[in-house]
Amino acid sequence: MNFTQELNWIRRHMPRTARMVSQLGDCRGKKVTICTHLDIKMVPLYEGFLKQGGELFVTTCNPTTVRDEVVSYLSSLGAKTHAWLNMSQADWEQSLQQALDWQPDYVCEFGAEIMSRLQQRPGQTMKAGLEGTGSGVSRLKQANMTFPVFNWDDLDAKEGLHNRHMVGLTAWQAFFERTRMTLHEKNVVVIGYGLVGQGVAFSARAYGGAVTVAERDPARRLMAQYDGWHVSELDDAIAQADVVVTATGARNVITARHLRALKSGAFVMNVGHVSDEIDTSELDLTQGEEVLPHIYEYQQGNKHFFLLANGAMFNLTASFGDSVNAFDVTLAIMASGLAHIMGEGANADPGFYLLPDAVWKPAVSAITLDTPASQ
Amino acid sequence: MNFTQELNWIRRHMPRTARMVSQLGDCRGKKVTICTHLDIKMVPLYEGFLKQGGELFVTTCNPTTVRDEVVSYLSSLGAKTHAWLNMSQADWEQSLQQALDWQPDYVCEFGAEIMSRLQQRPGQTMKAGLEGTGSGVSRLKQANMTFPVFNWDDLDAKEGLHNRHMVGLTAWQAFFERTRMTLHEKNVVVIGYGLVGQGVAFSARAYGGAVTVAERDPARRLMAQYDGWHVSELDDAIAQADVVVTATGARNVITARHLRALKSGAFVMNVGHVSDEIDTSELDLTQGEEVLPHIYEYQQGNKHFFLLANGAMFNLTASFGDSVNAFDVTLAIMASGLAHIMGEGANADPGFYLLPDAVWKPAVSAITLDTPASQ
Amino acid sequence: MNFTQELNWIRRHMPRTARMVSQLGDCRGKKVTICTHLDIKMVPLYEGFLKQGGELFVTTCNPTTVRDEVVSYLSSLGAKTHAWLNMSQADWEQSLQQALDWQPDYVCEFGAEIMSRLQQRPGQTMKAGLEGTGSGVSRLKQANMTFPVFNWDDLDAKEGLHNRHMVGLTAWQAFFERTRMTLHEKNVVVIGYGLVGQGVAFSARAYGGAVTVAERDPARRLMAQYDGWHVSELDDAIAQADVVVTATGARNVITARHLRALKSGAFVMNVGHVSDEIDTSELDLTQGEEVLPHIYEYQQGNKHFFLLANGAMFNLTASFGDSVNAFDVTLAIMASGLAHIMGEGANADPGFYLLPDAVWKPAVSAITLDTPASQ
Amino acid sequence: MNFTQELNWIRRHMPRTARMVSQLGDCRGKKVTICTHLDIKMVPLYEGFLKQGGELFVTTCNPTTVRDEVVSYLSSLGAKTHAWLNMSQADWEQSLQQALDWQPDYVCEFGAEIMSRLQQRPGQTMKAGLEGTGSGVSRLKQANMTFPVFNWDDLDAKEGLHNRHMVGLTAWQAFFERTRMTLHEKNVVVIGYGLVGQGVAFSARAYGGAVTVAERDPARRLMAQYDGWHVSELDDAIAQADVVVTATGARNVITARHLRALKSGAFVMNVGHVSDEIDTSELDLTQGEEVLPHIYEYQQGNKHFFLLANGAMFNLTASFGDSVNAFDVTLAIMASGLAHIMGEGANADPGFYLLPDAVWKPAVSAITLDTPASQ
């Protein structure tokens, strides 16, 4: 599937985004820096903004997720760009600085790289910002904002949808695609019962798995029990596990001791929020044999286990991420946030705000799916 | 709730039965013996037959389930009756003989008590029979039938509906009603994974239980695993169980050894097809303390457990059985069977038949629920 | 089942509460007023406090839910009491005033009746309060507190458990018990998709219903769709409904117009937070025929419908409320709150606080269910 | 992923098959023709038989599913082979005749191509056969067998597993992979409620779809309602559908009239048993634009719809079929059948038999998954 074909498909199936983009109206004279993933699913918002006259500086929140065709395409529409796949740390830092030198009026970010650097720059003229990740929000909450910033990560409609409904489903979809195995007859141990863990558990059942949840927090543990799951201490569960999944957001949830306790042939997968939920420090990662793409086998005495994506976030590494229709909701909310910071939101006092209901709720409201706005 | 009020309610909510009863047409000159449970939910068929001119002899397949008000009511409509709650074995035998002396042309049974006795009677003139239980079917298959008998127990629409959808749901409904406990935070061990066990497992999840299935047959065991259940050997599961349910159709599935292995405070419930799935021979049943109605507590050293209904089938003992709307389907099928044996079916060669699709499928076809035929 | 038998059963099956009560330690010299429902499931906390030397004044937050045997029993343990079932408004007001005259140091409430009256009393010496309802919280947030008050209603572990897991399940349990109908072959329309509506929808599926959700808020509507439900405008759904359930917390969600649009034979049930979610102002409630206990039938031209509990909250009116095991969690949290206000919490500045995690999380942590503390 | 890597993976994850293959024992002197799909997942059985000394003639039941690497590999182990991908009808017929000329003692088939041709050959010496498809079974039931044939298609453990648990799951897996769309906010209409339709419906829910079942047979329709699905007439459902799936086994279930009634943008997918469940005779299949691989778009006036795989069975065309772990069960049963026909089964009277429980049940019994026999 080529880029044009793929972009056409995506564009046609993101009607909520199309609706919000058309509501951005005339964007002439608006200077916006974006520092986000540069995935093809972001394009409908950015191309709309450009086509409606806006000025865009394109950098990335993560050099490992840049799709170069996206950068080229946005450049062809007139955007200034400074990002490529796997750019060096130095190049990346330079890119962020260039974004600031460009003197944008507005910034849309995943991770607050730009806004946190702004603090060190006297005389900046930023009017308003938009932040869409939990880590960015944490970072900014500690800073002293000199302009208003709107957080849309904490909206139920964003976090609930992605964390609860997308991560688990796409992780198991990728598991099946990569291993050709379903979860039937398998004990699946889900570590962590936040929204991600909940989705992992429910989707695992759909793939046939017998799920056990391990969770330290007593209230979440109870919630897992009220949802009808088997709940166990991790140390008890691990020896029976056929598949172990980390979904906690914490580091080193699975340690070398746990890996040693595994049955031979078990699968270990991380779909949490950080890439080091599995402590691989005692493994020699160069020793894992990639027996199938993304599936690394490790020997432990007379046993072996399979470490998916070598411990990186498997749902991101081995699948294509959120479905187009789900991401349409997310991107439409982001579009509503962009409209807000370019409009009324810029008049707010400096500080940190949750994106108001009146802004984003119209973005998620129902749309007649058979009349895509972009046709 | 009095009998009249209850019967009115039932009659209005059994539209499929009403439709089939009206199709019985003129029943004058038809002599039918019924040997079934005498539950109020059977009345819409029997009263319809009587009101349309039929002649009825009423006895029972089980003296412990007779509702005397049902017998009185049918008698008031002109039926000959010989059945009462907890009638003696001798009275019951006499009732069955009277039914034969009455020289019916047709018989509708649950358990084949009448038809198996017919074999010993020379000169009988029975034209056709209808049997609706597995045990009756087994009994008759070994006999040499001198007239055609139609089996409706093996129809998916009967067994599937009752076994799969009613037993488990009504059992947990009764469990909650009697113990005031839901299954949240409880390990529920379901023994047996036939249709009844499947329904028990699925409904247990709805009441919050964490289910483990124990099943000896490898194919059914695999089916349980493909449905996503935790599956375990009974001996391993029993020590972790908070609630144990037998749903096998076999005797002595739970033995004294299993009872001793229980955690203190566990519940033991039988919803299977026979009343002795739990071997209580080592218990002194007179020693159980009925701490709540139907809930018997037994001490075992410094532990105790609760034996529901003292091991009898809890769903029958402590609940009101199938829902009215589900039983409407069942009774409509039975009505179609009655129409068949009084019509074309009586012309079949002597032998044993499954009730034909063309007979019963119209009975289960959809009906507009808002226009009960009996109003 | 008599009071003693029932109380024994409850006491044995509330181990978390027993654990927290034992941690209250020596309660001598502590004067506490309680203004809560006086249900038998509250007793394990109150009797524990009394037996450990505490002084208790017992009044109620709702005269219609008082169980007189509970009041007598607490009185027999030395509590001052002034509450009885269906006491008059004047008697109730007097009771609340007596509670204040008694000069308690602490108060535990559902609804803030005591604490809101305290504002008008100069010279009161209340040290700390505990509030467990949303309406009480709203009321107190507008007041000027002169002592610290701790809110435990907003805890996920309380609201999530009761709203999400208890209301729907107990409502359908009661529906089945009262109507003897399951939801198979029925269109169930759930209005509102907050926690209560979610639970109603999931439990309806377990009882066999085909669920449609009607919800006005676009984000909740989307959430219902992501959970896989059919979602529809209420006006479209109502004409197809066999059972309609309100679960919104808003008034007059179902109006006379909706009632007229119903199919004949439909059931209408309210399980929401307020008793007037169904606008019955155009009905003559005295004209409804109680065809079965709690089931009222109304004629509308040549159609009829069944209004459960005449529109009152059916789960409260026709069932026994939360399961004992679920309520154990709730009451244990309340016990931890009582310990807190009698201890460190009383040292906090005047104001309104969420009960801290460190206080209530130990209350919900796992307990070995086979060793009830009260034995 | 190359053939060797893939075969290694499959071999290691088919422990039940490995166990049954080892029980085949010494195969020297046994001449077996196989006429099956020549998929890589079949290899563990065939290579085992060859390595244990057996003689194999390899042809195919379907030239469009041959994987040439499989044929080469079996040839390298000494098998006689005559099959290649998309061989002509004439070549295929020749292959079947060669298989007969080779004078096998035993035959394993999917579709009875060999055994039905045997009837026309006088003097054949076949000892026993094995058949694994419904169509083959139908074909053979009409023939006059001169040797015993064992049917393993009708085993619950085969049909239940593949139809109920694999078809729907792999179909939606492929849908998501190919369209990058989940089913959230989509009305999914499932036509047919046999085992395949059941699995399609349950898995659709897991992918977020709001399911409606259309089924003509009243008993199956009722079963769908008892499972809690919305059930509708196809003509009513089709206009609301976002995704329509045929799962019936019948031809022309969806006609030109239905296609015209679709909403613009709808998806149409066939996962049934025959390739012409969707009547495409009024479409010009050469006019469909393949907008993404396997996704064909058709214009209808000012509307359009997407016909997946142009109406062919999408689960077979666009996915990799059953999971390795599920197919292990299937292939182990087939291995047990092969053992049976080469042993005791060949002594049975000529005729048609269901593979006996005692033969196949050991094949499906549990295996310790962490010690693959082939390692």
What pLDDT score was predicted for residue D255?
A: 95
CA nearest neighbour of B61 among B28, B37, B92:
B37
CA distance B366 to C155: 46
> Does C308 contact B at CB distance below 8 Å?
no
Residue of B nearest to D166 (CA): B226
B129-138, C223-232, D5-14: segment of lowest average pLDDT = B129-138
- Please tell me the distance in Å from C369's CA to the nearest CA on chain A: 14
HEC states along chain D? Answer: CCHHHHHHHHHHCCHHHHHHHHHHCCCCCCEEEEEECCCHHHHHHHHHHHHCCCEEEEEECCHHHCCHHHHHHHHHCCCEECCCCCCCHHHHHHHHHHHHHCCCCEEEECCCHHHHHHCCCCCCCCCEEEECCHHHHHHHHCCCCCCEEEECCCCHHHHHHHHHHHHHHHHHHHHHHHHCCCCCCCEEEEECCCHHHHHHHHHHHHCCCEEEEECCCHHHHHHHHHCCCEECCHHHHHCCCCEEEECCCCCCCECHHHHHHCCCCEEEEECCCCCCCECCCCCCHHHCEEEECCEEEEEECCEEEEEEHHHCEHHHHHCCCCCHHHHHHHHHHHHHHHHHHHCHHHHCCCEEEECCHHHHHHHHCCCCCCCCCCC
Q: In this structure, are residues D364 and D157 in contact, taking their beta carbons and an 8 Å threshold?
A: yes
- Token readout for D244 is 């329509």
B231/A210 touch (CB, cutoff 8 Å), yes or no: yes
C182/B323 touch (CB, cutoff 8 Å), yes or no: yes
Reported confidence tier of residue A368, pLDDT bands at 50, 70, 90? low
> Does B367 contact D at CB distance below 8 Å?
no
B219/D156 touch (CB, cutoff 8 Å), yes or no: yes
Q: In this structure, are residues C265 and C242 in contact, taking their beta carbons and an 8 Å threshold?
A: yes
pLDDT exceeds 80 at position A371: no
Kindly list the distances between the CA atom of residue A293 and the CA atoms of A93, A267, A272, D3, in Å, as whole numbers in the listed order: 32, 14, 21, 13
pLDDT exceeds 90 at position A221: yes
**Rounded to the nearest 10 degrees, how much is the dihedral formed by the CA atoms of A140, A142, A145, A149?**
30
Chains C, D: CB contacts within 8 A come to 39
Q: Which residues in B lie closer than 8 A to residue A209 (C-beta atoms)?
A: 228
D218/B366 touch (CB, cutoff 8 Å), yes or no: yes
- Token readout for B66 is 């007779």
Average pLDDT over residues B36-56: 97
What pLDDT score was predicted for residue A370?
A: 43
Q: Is A373 exposed, middle or buried (0-12, 13-18, 19+ CB in 10 A)?
A: middle
C210, C222, C225: residue with CB nearest D229: C210
CA distance A301 to A303: 5
CA distance B234 to B189: 8
Three-state SS at A130 = strand
Candidates B14, B292, B323, B374, partner chain C, best to mutate (most C CBs within 10 A): B323
Residue of C nearest to D241 (CA): C230
> Does C85 contact A at CB distance below 8 Å?
no
- Token readout for A335 is 């579009």
> Does A368 contact C at CB distance below 8 Å?
no
- Please tell me the distance in Å from C258's CA to the nearest CA on chain D: 22
Residue of B nearest to A202 (CA): B228
Q: Which residues in D lie closer than 8 A to residue C210 (C-beta atoms)?
A: 225, 228-231
> Does B366 contact D at CB distance below 8 Å?
yes
Q: Which residues in B lie closer than 8 A to residue D361 (C-beta atoms)?
A: 217-219
Give the percent of chain D with pLDDT over 90. 83
Kindly list the distances between the CA atom of residue C245 and the CA atoms of C206, C220, C225, D103, D374, in Å, as whole numbers in the listed order: 16, 17, 18, 71, 57
D9/A291 touch (CB, cutoff 8 Å), yes or no: yes
- Please tell me the distance in Å from C56's CA to the nearest CA on chain A: 30
Residues near B12 by beta carbon (within 8 Å), at least 6 away in sequence:
B372, B374, B375
Residue that wins the pLDDT comparison between C1 and D74: D74
> Does D372 contact A at CB distance below 8 Å?
yes
Reported confidence tier of residue D177, pLDDT bands at 50, 70, 90? very high
Q: What is the pLDDT of residues B81-121, one digit of tens each?
A: 999 999 999 999 999 999 999 999 999 999 999 999 987 78
> Does B3 contact C at CB distance below 8 Å?
no
A342-346, B327-331, D123-127: segment of lowest average pLDDT = D123-127
Chains B, C: CB contacts within 8 A come to 109
Reported confidence tier of residue B335, pLDDT bands at 50, 70, 90? very high
Touching chains, C (3+ CB pairs < 8 A):
A, B, D
> Does D173 contact A at CB distance below 8 Å?
yes
Q: Which residues in B lie closer than 8 A to residue A205 (C-beta atoms)?
A: 228
Q: Is A146 exposed, middle or buried (0-12, 13-18, 19+ CB in 10 A)?
A: middle
D324/A180 touch (CB, cutoff 8 Å), yes or no: yes
C160, C164, C366: residue with CB nearest A218: C366
pTM of the predicted model as reported, rounded to 2 decimal places: 0.95
List of chain C residues with pLDDT < 70: 368-375
Torsions phi, psi for A167 (to 5 deg): -60, -50
Candidates D184, D187, D190, partner chain C, best to mutate (most C CBs within 10 A): D184
Kindly list the distances between the CA atom of residue B287 and the CA atoms of B179, B255, B264, B317, C259, in Å, as whole numbers in the listed order: 20, 18, 17, 20, 55
> Does C12 contact A at CB distance below 8 Å?
no
What pLDDT score was predicted for residue C65?
A: 87
C182, C208, C370: residue with CB nearest B264: C370
Candidates C172, C185, C222, C242, partner chain D, best to mutate (most D CBs within 10 A): C185
Q: Is D88 exposed, middle or buried (0-12, 13-18, 19+ CB in 10 A)?
A: exposed
Farthest CA pair distance, chain D: 67
Beta strands in chain A (DSSP E): 31-36, 55-60, 80-81, 106-109, 128-131, 148-151, 187-191, 210-214, 230-231, 243-246, 266-270, 289-292, 295-300, 303-308, 351-354
Return the residue matching tokens 């058949």. Answer: D131
**What is the bridge-based pairing of β-strands D106-109 and D31-36?**
parallel
B229/A210 touch (CB, cutoff 8 Å), yes or no: yes
In DSSP terms, A227 is beta-bridged to none
Three-state SS at C331 = helix
Mean pLDDT (chain B) is 93
CA distance B243 to B262: 9
CA distance A240 to A238: 5
Q: What is the DSSP letter of C275?
A: T
- Please tell me the distance in Å from C202's CA to the nearest CA on chain D: 11
Q: Which residues in D lie closer than 8 A to residue B221 (C-beta atoms)?
A: 365-366
Residue type for A216, please? R
CA distance C358 to D301: 65
pLDDT exceeds 60 at position A300: yes
pLDDT exceeds 60 at position A369: no
C205/D228 touch (CB, cutoff 8 Å), yes or no: yes
Q: In this structure, are residues C148 and C351 in contact, taking their beta carbons and an 8 Å threshold?
A: yes
> Does C225 contact D at CB distance below 8 Å?
yes
Q: Residues of C309-327 as b/e, b for ≥16 C-beta within 10 angstroms?
A: bbbbbbbbbbbbbbbbbbb
C187, C208, C229: residue with CB nearest D210: C229
Average pLDDT over residues D46-51: 98
Average pLDDT over residues D171-200: 97
Q: What is the pLDDT of residues A144-193, one digit of tens each?
A: 888 999 999 999 888 889 999 999 999 999 999 999 999 999 999 999 99
> Does B266 contact C at CB distance below 8 Å?
yes
> Does D230 contact B at CB distance below 8 Å?
no
Q: Measured in whole angstroms, how far is the alpha carbon of residue C175 from the centre of its chain?
A: 18
Average pLDDT over residues A57-68: 94
User: Which stretch of DSSP H or E encloses residue B56?
Assistant: strand B55-60
- Please tell me the distance in Å from B219's CA to the nearest CA on chain D: 6
- Please tell me the distance in Å from D362's CA to the nearest CA on chain C: 35
> Does C292 contact B at CB distance below 8 Å?
yes
Q: CA end-to-end span of chain B, whole Å?
A: 20
Q: Is the ipTM of this complex over 0.90?
A: yes
- Please tell me the distance in Å from D182's CA to the nearest CA on chain C: 10
pLDDT exceeds 60 at position D30: yes
Measured on CA atoms in the order B241, B242, B248, B254, is the torsion positive or negative?
positive
pLDDT exceeds 80 at position D374: no
> Does B208 contact A at CB distance below 8 Å?
yes
CA distance A146 to D231: 58
Three-state SS at C289 = strand
C156, C222, C366: residue with CB nearest A157: C222
B185, B187, B226: residue with CB nearest A184: B226
What pLDDT score was predicted for residue B368?
A: 62
> Does D304 contact A at CB distance below 8 Å?
no
Note which residues in 324-363 of chain C have CB less than 8 A from chain A: 329, 361-362
For Cα atoms C301, C306, C311, give the angle at the middle one, nearest 5 degrees: 115
B321-330, C83-92, C134-143, D193-202: segment of lowest average pLDDT = C134-143
Kindly list the distances between the CA atom of residue C165 and the CA atoms of A205, B242, C158, C202, C225, in Å, as whole numbers in the listed order: 20, 20, 10, 9, 20
Q: In this structure, are residues A5 and D291 in contact, taking their beta carbons and an 8 Å threshold?
A: yes
